[in-house]
Amino acid sequence: MRLPHIRWTAIAAAALLALTACGPNSANDEPAAASSGSAAATDAFPVSVAHKFGTTEVKAEPKRVVTVGLVDQDALLALGIVPVGTTEWFGEKPGAIWPWAEAALGSAPLPQVMTQTDGVEFEKVAALKPDLILAIYSGLTSEDYAKLAKMAPTVAQPKDQVDYGVGWQELTRMVGTAVGRTAQAEKLVTDTEALFTKVKQDNPSFAGKTGLMATTYEGYWVYGTQDPRGRLLKDLGFTLPAGLDEVTGKEFGANLSKERTDLLDVDMLVWIVDKYDTDKAKVEADPLYSKLKVKTEGRSLYVENNEEVGAATSFISVLSLPYLLDKLVPQMAAAVDGDPATEVVRAG
């Protein structure tokens, strides 16, 4: 079973087109970080990126980028760069590229995919002869970092975030800095943040309501304020429940004890599950959960991990967010009204 950090309209369509407009659109002999035209680096090298294990200097524009971080490829693709190697999180998509990122990939060759079942596949990374390694959405240890840094300049997770806790804005900016495209990265962030502004304007009912994301990993697992899923709700105007930080502590999430099932009783609850029908039925049959207003008033919605909406709920990036907001927000709006008669239509 995957650990819980290994989970996850016309406006959105236009935004996705804008975000991917500078992506590669022709096949090359091999995926390369630099290409002609608007995708070329605009910053002067060397560039420096601070992270958990120090500061990495990238002396020249990278040509062969490998992503060890589990969502780093999306930011890279959005910047017009195709990695030579990616690391599989879940879903087993070709090249570890989900459908929302396919437009940015274009007709370029698919990256070679590595797994992280037994940790970083160092030999495979080395065989790709990278000149930049990105491990931003990751849980690299100092030992992992030392091994990778001997192969190529390596950018690890931020020093001021928990492992697997980096937000999509910071990740995009760190990738942009590492590949010499800071202005382009900033525009991606700005354009994506505009989508959130529009959603909040269109859904004033979200403001001030409590929201939470949870999964059925070893009972009930909740995602906290230091997790991208928790931040997503806050960015949409929701407030995370009081007492959540006491449960999650310094981690991105934690299991709930039976005594704290009350934390699930929020105005809008997103369940991220492995099997939609089976897991939904199991949750709603739980005697403790079934008595909560979040259940009796129809305030919850369910998404399945390996369906695109469920995957995008965990795989939060500048490429997945336009799709995710388009599909998930209507479900949230139906759930937050507190009327059991309002059907929360499944979007897979």
Residue matched to tokens 């929020």 = 266
Residue 18: predicted pLDDT: 43
How do residues 270-293 score in pLDDT, each as one tens digit? 999 999 999 999 999 999 999 999
Residue 158: predicted pLDDT: 97
Return d(Cα 110, Cα 240) in angstroms, integer: 39
Residue 164: predicted pLDDT: 95
Return d(Cα 144, Cα 116) in angstroms, integer: 12
Structure tokens at 169: 């804005």
Alpha-carbon dihedral 51, 53, 55, 56, rounded to 10 degrees: -90
Return d(Cα 48, Cα 37) in angstroms, integer: 24
Residue 259: predicted pLDDT: 87
Query: Closest Cα to residue 110, out of 102, 120, 118?
Result: 102
| HSE toward the beta carbon, residue 120, CA cutoff 13 A | 26
Q: H/E/C letters for each residue in 294-334?
A: HHHCCCEEEEECCCHHHHHHHCCCCCHHHHHHHHHHHHHHH
Residue 30: predicted pLDDT: 44
R_g of the chain, CA atoms, integer Å:
20
Residue 13: predicted pLDDT: 37
The stretches in the chain having pLDDT less than 50 are 1-3, 5-38
Q: H/E/C letters for each residue in the chain?
A: CCCHHHCCCHHHHHHHHHHHCCCCCCCCCCCCCCCCHHHCCCCCCCEEEEECCEEEEECCCCCCEEECCCCHHHHHHHCCCCCCEEECCCCCCHHHCCHHHHHHHCCCCCCEEECCECECCHHHHHHCCCCEEECCCCCCCHHHHHHHHHHCCEECCCCCCCCCCCCHHHHHHHHHHHCCCHHHHHHHHHHHHHHHHHHHHHCHHHCCCEEEEEECCCCCEEECCCCHHHHHHHHCCCECCCCHHHHHCCCCEEECCHHHHHHHCCCEEEEEECCHHHHHHHHHHCHHHHCCHHHHCCCEEEEECCCHHHHHHHCCCCCHHHHHHHHHHHHHHHHHCCCCCCCCCCCC
